[in-house]
Amino acid sequence: MNPERPSPENFLELIHRQRRGRLKLYLGSSAGVGKTYAMLVEGNRLREQGVDVVIGYVEPHDRPETIAQIGKLEIVPPLTVTHSGITLKELDLDAVLRRKPFIVLVDELAHTNAPGLRHAKRYEDVEALREAGIHVISTLNIQHLESLYGVVEESTGVRVQERIPDNIVATADQIMNIDLEAEDLIARLQDGKIYPRQVVDSALQNFFTTRNLTQLREITLNEIAQFLDRRQRQGDANGEKVKVLGKVMVALSSRGPDPAILLRTTSRLAANLNAPWYAVYVRTKRESGSRLDSETHRILSQTLDLAQKMGGSIVLLENRNVLQALGAFARNNAVTHLVLGRPNWHPGLQWLRPSLVEALIRDLPDVSIVVSRR
């Protein structure tokens, strides 16, 4: 763990500057590194200072050291929900709103709520708390970031089901890295400090391998570095104007490369540049209205919804000439980076007409063209 981690007082200073609730995240590379423990330690320190802090939801996973850190913290009783014959415990959003503490601790930000609750995801509950002026301290594993889905799968072979939009994390006022080397994390697992002993062998053979944990740790450290870099570019806490390094757009199509990969590439690029980004879809006459088959229409709708969740601005253009529409939008909006999917080459036909990529390179000489590798 980082010995130079800012004290709870730093978060209190941030809190007093804004009416909307602040968000502090304890970010880790994997389960078991100590995120929940660290969150509870801070909660107890704040309580000892006279701060009105409560536990909205905590998942101790039967870990004695974590349970011990709950200490004297007030707990807002969780909501009990029965689904498919299984009893589940969830954050009681309405109860926390009624209680209206100064700070609430909410574990596992990427959690999917039980069906029938007001929100499908816990991060949506947290947003509601922040809108009500309640400050939140929460926890998150790096693999749950939406834009890292492909990176995590490629690095570890794991397909993460629960994912959170990057723009939620981008609004965090503090992100604390709970760092633990792979060897130490495996030792904790073998000692039964993460999961029950009966599942340890299975975990060691699947997710908790030295390679996977090392890869995730490297991804986490890189994310933290980029987060700090973006914060530095934004200036100090006295309200200095945010410095952006351009504008990014991605050209979407109803056919072609995997749109989710394009969006993640764009989101990552925009985050690195501290820049806004646009998801642009040009609808031609051939793709208007009922001419799109139901499956293509479904995929396109999901793509635009994902772009919005990842923090992009949706732009729908109608033009029979895709090149003309994309070029005009890029120039009119001072776009500096354009992300495109790799074109489907047709051997023997390239010489007949240039690809869209080649045409845009000629049409937008001052724009950096980024061609996604997939």
Per residue in 81-138, pLDDT (tens digit) is: 988 888 999 999 999 999 999 999 999 999 999 999 999 999 999 999 999 999 999 9
**In this structure, is residue 3 part of a structural domain?**
no
**In this structure, is residue 243 part of a structural domain?**
no
**In this structure, is residue 270 part of a structural domain?**
yes
CB count within 10 Å of CB 158 equals 15
**In this structure, is residue 2 part of a structural domain?**
no
Same domain, 270 and 162: no
Examine the fold and report which residue of 205, 233, 261 is the final residue of a domain before the chain moves on.
233
Same domain, 266 and 162: no
Domain count of the fold of the chain: 2
Nearby residues of 21 by Cβ (< 8 Å), 6 or more positions away: 129, 130, 131, 132, 133, 134, 135, 136
**In this structure, is residue 1 part of a structural domain?**
no
**In this structure, is residue 94 part of a structural domain?**
yes
pLDDT digits (tens, 9 = 90+) for 260-270: 888 888 888 88
Helix or strand run (H / E) with residue 280: strand 277-283
Look up the pTM and report it: 0.72
Q: For residue 285, what is the DSSP state?
A: G
Same domain, 26 and 164: yes
Same domain, 176 and 209: yes
Cα-based angle 124, 131, 110 (whole degrees, multiple of 5): 20
For residues 102 and 54, is the Cβ–Cβ distance under 8 A? no
**What's the rounded mean pLDDT across residues 59-71?**
86
- Confidence tier at 237 by pLDDT (50, 70, 90): very low
- From residue 159, alpha-carbon distances to 135, 169, 320 in Å are 32, 20, 38
**In this structure, is residue 71 part of a structural domain?**
yes
CATH number at residue 79: 3.40.50.300
Structure tokens at 362: 């000629």
270: buried, middle or exposed (CB in 10 Å: 19+, 13-18, 0-12)?
Answer: buried
The span from the CA of 197 to the CA of 250, in Å, is: 47
The span from the CA of 336 to the CA of 315, in Å, is: 17
pLDDT digits (tens, 9 = 90+) for 175-225: 998 988 889 999 988 988 888 888 888 888 888 999 999 999 988 888 887
Same domain, 269 and 228: no
Structure tokens at 280: 């642009």
pLDDT digits (tens, 9 = 90+) for 280-306: 988 887 666 555 667 777 788 888 888
Same domain, 115 and 91: yes
Examine the fold and report which residue of 199, 233, 267 is the final residue of a domain before the chain moves on.
233
Among 19-33, 113-127, 304-318, the range with the most confident prediction by mean pLDDT is: 113-127
pLDDT digits (tens, 9 = 90+) for 245-257: 689 999 988 766 6
Same domain, 273 and 360: yes
Identify the three-state secondary structure at position 283.
strand
Examine the fold and report which residue of 204, 233, 262 is the final residue of a domain before the chain moves on.
233
Same domain, 83 and 21: yes
Same domain, 276 and 347: yes
pLDDT digits (tens, 9 = 90+) for 143-186: 999 888 888 888 888 888 899 988 888 888 889 989 888 899 99
Same domain, 213 and 336: no
Q: Domain range for residue 156? A: 8-233
CATH number at residue 340: 3.40.50.620
Same domain, 152 and 223: yes
**In this structure, is residue 347 part of a structural domain?**
yes
27: buried, middle or exposed (CB in 10 Å: 19+, 13-18, 0-12)?
Answer: buried
Among 29-38, 125-134, 151-160, 342-351, the range with the most confident prediction by mean pLDDT is: 125-134
Same domain, 303 and 274: yes
Cα-based angle 259, 265, 270 (whole degrees, multiple of 5): 125
Is the CA virtual torsion 288, 292, 298, 300 positive or negative?
negative
